[in-house]
Structure 1
């Protein structure tokens, strides 16, 4: 997978832009300050805005917890939910922003001026910017991928398993054999190299080193980091902005609603300690891999283009893993 494809893939599973979304009153209330429905508690404090996908909101929570009355944050829609009607609200927020913390978003994202460089032009002259990368880390679950197709995401979980894709293509039962050790290590090295290249290209904080040394505390799924990673990233963001503050654990898991199985063989191949599992954890419920596969196989039968696209996009990975 190319660097650009990785970057787009991180946001891909979050994209569900419904018609008339900006008129959804429940959504507007949830982001009340962004839409001007509520006033900030202390408008005189400098505003820190975190811009990006689901990782952005988790980061905002941590940076808000470290503020201690020195700045304020604002809950805003993730970039994949923003629509044209939201642009005036976004510009108004940016005009009041002192610190922008942003993930790299390409110019013209979804045919709107939502790119990180584009929104940066709306900032006051003295505003500070810190960029942090979109984490995509497949080391603990090397067969998990993201595939963008017009039909959207598969059922149960918005992720694809190459073993299920190959089984669907060949019309054979799915084999959940663990990936061989060399394949696991190859995916680990690729995840690390891809992330380092994206960091260097966009001038972000160094999340790759955090992930490299996090052991099993890296990601729950390919694009949802553990608290451990988010905490260290957030501390690095404060340092990049020149702000003093201590980021602390919020006492809850921020991005752990979906948790991919992590095989003991995978942990062994990477030489790390961790809790092994062979079932998904979906919003607190244990769901067997076969159950997820059965639902997705039915979906693939209705959307064969997803099989073709997925295997074409990840052909090199299929060969590397030998699935």
Structure 2
């Protein structure tokens, strides 16, 4: 039976229910550690299934797809920072100097890994290229984000504590153990697991959606427990949400137009849009604690919290629309 046009997408309904559950029953205490483990297991399973599904030729083509990676990196580390600086005359008076610095921090961050790949898979895009691009973005971001943040902070006459920056092996270790190793295991066992995955493609979809829902629940739970939404007036929160929406409203259509103008096929366009428009929360919060040591870190990461949650809510229906068009 055809879904009525007025009825929201099923994934959007699940996201709304997840957000409501996180606000009513947020996870806290030991439950946070349990949720983190469940999320890591879900991500590992997702990458194992993709490793079992993708052919080695597709993986190699994804690694060598330099034009796609160049566009994603340009959007992540050039377009976003330029937008943040160019919009300063309007953004800073709207949200204040501290939150504006937090917006610049969002603009300097690398792409997400888990949700970028999950949404690309859900939209039937180039998963291999998305995996390579998002993972490399996170690795490069360990060095580029502090440098970009220091340069932008200096440009607006604010100290971001950049002199205290230390690169950590923890992020590299997380990418390798949680993402790369399960994917390599799936590739190594593809001879045995590949046929099963091909017969049960629904598992890929369930894994994609389950990972997204776990990330959303964790993000909103953390925000609820920390009371981030109660620290500022409602008008300021709405203005900050509007700023995040503005950034997405500029970057996502622009990446779509650029992808088509440069002749990228549909699968590559999907990977470019989802990888190039996202910012990581998992790496962003630890970086903020170092870059903004001694400052109001909870307030400075609020734009990142809002942007992260908004990007998930926006990308969910977009991914499903891409999938319906492909079908």
Normalization by structure 1: what TM-score? 0.28
Q: Which has the higher contact order (CA 8 A, sep 6+)?
A: 2
Normalization by structure 2: what TM-score? 0.28
More helix by proportion, 1 or 2?
2
More strand by proportion, 1 or 2?
1
